Amino acid sequence: MTDTTSIKHQTPLTSGDFTAADEPFALFEAWLNEAIKSEPNDPNAMALATVDPDGLPDVRMVLMKGFDTEGFVFYSHIASQKGRELAANPKAALLFHWKSLRRQVRIRGNVTPVTDAEADAYFATRPKQAQIGAWASKQSQELESRFAFEQAIAKVAARHVIGDVPRPPGWSGWRITPSRIEFWHDRPFRLHDRIEFRRDAAGQPWSKTRMYP
Ligand SMILES: Cc1cc2nc3c(=O)[nH]c(=O)nc-3n(C[C@H](O)[C@H](O)[C@H](O)COP(=O)(O)O)c2cc1C
């Protein structure tokens, strides 16, 4: 699992023609490494699209906290809107847009929960205030006032003045295992470059198609 905070800069795969890449993960890592250098903040921010039970799409930003050939991982509250939508329909699309590089990456695939061990390991790396916030927030439910949230935070903080904060049972992560990954790079006069990698299932070989922009 690649932790985005520890990715080392490497010779960009993209110094030449990125459309020559024959596999998407190394290309994604090279583009992310370039984004880490160029974006003003959150190069690992991605839009996460899900659908509700009526088939109506929903989208919001989340932070990608790791990726490898198994997929792209983010963390959130299980009872949140996104958590409920993923429980009912475990499929999602992701979108990275790196404005400074004029690039986007589109990802679609099936979603599975991460293991408890993975979620525990990531939760343990969060700052204590963020851990306390995860206990205090009933994400996506109505909040009567900011004060009510601050009171909830103070109560949790009082319980954990000393010692580690364990992971709340309602907080975990999900992995999107891609079946499609599309790389898009701006070119002059909107004559952009697009390549799409597809595979039938995880572990199967990727096929690559160049697309009209
Ligand atoms: C840049 C950015 C990163 C975010 N990262 C996360 C995240 O990693 N996890 C999360 O639960 N919410 C994150 N949020 C908040 C979500 O966009 C969203 O407001 C929240 O998760 C509730 O979404 P839901 O009601 O659809 O479940 C982030 C927001 C922004 C703008």
List the beta bridge partners of residue 48: 60, 94
Domain hosting 159: range is 127-166
pLDDT > 90: what percent of the chain?
Answer: 85
Has residue 88 been placed in a domain? yes
Mean pLDDT of the chain: 92
Q: Report residue 17's pLDDT band, with 50, 70 and 90 as the boundaries.
A: confident
pLDDT at position 188 is: 87
The pLDDT of residue 29 is above 60: yes
Alpha-carbon dihedral sign for residues 155, 165, 78, 198 = positive
Assigned domain for 9 exists = no
Q: Residue 16: pLDDT band by 50, 70, 90 thresholds?
A: low
Same domain, 94 and 142: no
The residue length of the chain stands at 213
Radius of gyration of the chain (CA): 19
Whether residue 66 is found in the same domain as residue 149:
no
Task: Give the C-alpha distances (Å, rounded to integers) separating 42 from 32, 62, 65.
Answer: 11, 10, 11
If asked whether residues 50 and 86 sit together in one domain, one would say: yes
4 lies in some domain: no
DSSP 7: P
159, 190, 199, 210: which one is catalytic? 190
pLDDT at 104 over 90: yes
**CA gap 73, 192 in Å, rounded:** 28
Assess whether pLDDT exceeds 60 at residue 6. Answer: no
**pLDDT of 5 above 50:** no
| 141 and 65 both lie in a single domain | no
Same domain, 83 and 181: yes
CATH code of the domain containing 176: 2.30.110.10
Tell me the one-letter amino acid at 183: F
> Among the listed ranges 14-28, 43-57, 109-123, 149-163, which one has the minimum average pLDDT value?
14-28
Please tell me whether residues 79 and 146 are part of one structural domain. Answer: no
* Mean pLDDT to the nearest integer, 74-103: 97
Q: Is residue 6 part of a domain?
A: no
pLDDT in tens, 135-164: 999 999 999 999 999 999 999 999 999 999
What distance in angstroms lies between residue 137's CA and the mean position of ligand 1's atoms? 12
What pLDDT score was predicted for residue 2? 43
Active site residue 190: yes
Residue 10 within any structural domain of the chain? no
Q: Are residues 153 and 104 in the same domain?
A: no
> How many angstroms is it from 73 CA to the middle of ligand 1?
13
76 lines ligand 1 (CB under 6 A): yes
Per-residue pLDDT of 174-191, as tens digits, reads 999 999 999 999 988 888
204 and 152 together in one domain: no
Q: Is the CB of 74 under 6 A from ligand 1?
A: yes
Q: Are residues 62 and 145 in the same domain?
A: no
In a domain, 3, yes or no: no
Q: Given pLDDT bands bounded at 50, 70 and 90, which one contains residue 14?
A: low
Whole-number Å distance between alpha carbons of 27 and 156? 42
Is a pLDDT exceeding 60 seen at residue 54? yes
In a domain, residue 92? The reply is yes
* Site to substitute for ligand 1 among 4, 56, 60, most atoms within 8 A of C-beta: 60
**Total tally of structural domains belonging to the chain:** 2
Tokens, residue 129? 């205030």
55 and 147 in a single domain? The answer is: no
Question: pTM for this one?
Answer: 0.92
83 plus 139 within the same structural domain? no
In a domain, 105, yes or no: yes
Q: Tell whether 101 and 133 lie within a shared domain.
A: no
